[in-house]
Amino acid sequence: MTDKITVKNLFKIFGEAPDAALQMLGTGATKEDILDATGATVAVQDASFSVAEGEIFVVMGLSGSGKSTLVRLLNGLIPATFGQILIDGQDVVQTRGEALREIRRNTITMIFQHFALFPHWSVADNVAYGLKVKGVPATERRDRAMAVLDQVGLAPWADSLPGDLSGGMQQRVGLARGLASDPQVLLMDEPFGALDPLIRREMQDELLTLQKTLKKTIVFITHDLNEALLLGDKIAIMKDGRFVQIGTAQDIVSRPADDYVQAFVADIDRGRVFTAGDVSSDPVTAQLHGDSAETTLRRMEDASLDALYVLDGDTVSGLVTHRDLSAALHRDGPGDATLTPSLITDFTTVDEGTYLHELYGPAGIGLPIAVTDGDDRLTGVVAPEAVLAQLDNEAAAAPAPRMEDAR
């Protein structure tokens, strides 16, 4: 994947003397020192990152961390003080006037926390706003607005006023407006922050569904780490205008860069961050028709397992437990005992991408969970203890030697 957005050493300093403040930053002065000395406020400090095409890049931070400023630097609503913002190689920082407006019309659109819909225009006209600015004729505008409204499920409300819609619906209109001019980059400034929790979940899922087909490059701002972890292909944690850590959801949760990130991570639901692939181990198996109960039992003991999966060729036929096999061995004698009578065929299979919170139920039974690939081949086994260990945030060690390839 190629990088759509590349940001290098981006600074934004509000106030009279940005150059002096920039120099002080160079000598290692803190934000407070600079405010005292020059009256300038450092909003974004030395931000560098890149966003690949089709990726959702989430910037997470609390109020005052500079995240809303950062997103407005990307489309030049706030001019940057220093640095580079390359979108398809064009530097937004150096672009002004009509050329900048061209970028906003064709390449980058924005979705706002408080929707920012025009109250005196119908939903369809709002959606078509970007097209109107571009000078697209009225009938074509209407057609394209209707197509996008259809996508977000609001076609029947095309002629309503935004004020007549609920918050969630209004933000769908906001989303449709952002999509109507078919931009390559979407900037989303806490788009779900003003919605109540249930609607927020619904919108997050809908965004993920839409993104599967749209494949836009998205920069998403939020103050909610759970939202960041759910949506972000890559997540940047921002504090006092700088990036504290950039990484995947698993990176952030399993290897927090400092105490600040650690404090956030402590509260999150790890079951929604880690997947079966993250906690599975390589399978120890037996062949249904090749291995005897005795050899299987020994293999289990060698690997100190209570149960293992039995394969018939390549396909999983079931699992056997140490207790059942011992009983069978005792009953039938070492020479005759086979695996078949002890085979438990009622087992759970999941794929690598299944989130752990869906495994709590199966793990509670106490049997290992089979991780299979698209062809039903066993690729790993999740021990129930591994799932439950993730529930304990403090104790959970980095689970993930396989983390990188899990994504």
Asked whether 24 and 38 are in contact (CB, 8 A), the reply is yes
Q: Tell which one of 110, 363, 369, 386 touches other proteins (CB under 8 A).
A: 110
Residue 212: C-alpha distances to residues 206, 215, 406 (Å): 10, 6, 18
Residue whose CB is less far from other proteins, 65 or 275? 65
**x/- string (CB under 8 A) for other proteins, residues 186-225?**
-x--------------------------------------
Between CA 229 and CA 285 the distance in angstroms is 34
Between CA 375 and CA 122 the distance in angstroms is 50
Q: Among the candidate windows 19-27, 99-107, 208-216, 246-254, which touches other proteins by CB under 8 A?
A: 99-107
Residue whose CB is less far from other proteins, 119 or 197? 119
Asked if 250 interacts with other proteins (CB under 8 A), we say: no
Asked if 315 interacts with other proteins (CB under 8 A), we say: no
Asked if 65 interacts with other proteins (CB under 8 A), we say: yes
**x/- string (CB under 8 A) for other proteins, residues 4-43?**
----------------------------------------
Asked whether 298 and 313 are in contact (CB, 8 A), the reply is no
In terms of Cα–Cα distance, which of 276, 275, 188, 175 is closest to 228? Answer: 188
**Residue 242, beta-bridge partner list:** 239
Residue 188: C-alpha distances to residues 157, 196, 197 (Å): 23, 17, 18
Residue whose CB is less far from other proteins, 87 or 383? 87
Asked if 270 interacts with other proteins (CB under 8 A), we say: no
Between CA 126 and CA 76 the distance in angstroms is 22
Phi, psi at residue 120, to the nearest 5°?
A: -95, 5
Residue whose CB is less far from other proteins, 189 or 352? 189
Q: Tell which one of 101, 142, 201, 242 touches other proteins (CB under 8 A).
A: 101
- What Rg value do the Cα atoms of the chain yield, rounded? 27
Asked if 104 interacts with other proteins (CB under 8 A), we say: yes
Q: Return the residues of window 73-92 that contact other proteins according to CB under 8 A.
A: 75, 77
Asked if 139 interacts with other proteins (CB under 8 A), we say: no
What is the smallest separation between the CB atom of 94 and other proteins, expressed in angstroms?
17
Residue whose CB is less far from other proteins, 77 or 303? 77
Q: Tell which one of 63, 139, 304, 345 touches other proteins (CB under 8 A).
A: 63
Between CA 221 and CA 74 the distance in angstroms is 12
Between CA 363 and CA 343 the distance in angstroms is 19
Token pair belonging to 309: 């999966």
Between CA 267 and CA 229 the distance in angstroms is 12
Token pair belonging to 302: 């060698």
Q: Among the candidate windows 56-64, 302-310, 350-358, 397-405, which touches other proteins by CB under 8 A?
A: 56-64
The residues that touch other proteins, with contacts defined as CB under 8 A, are 61-69, 75, 77, 101-106, 109-110, 112-114, 116-120, 129-130, 132-134, 177, 181, 187
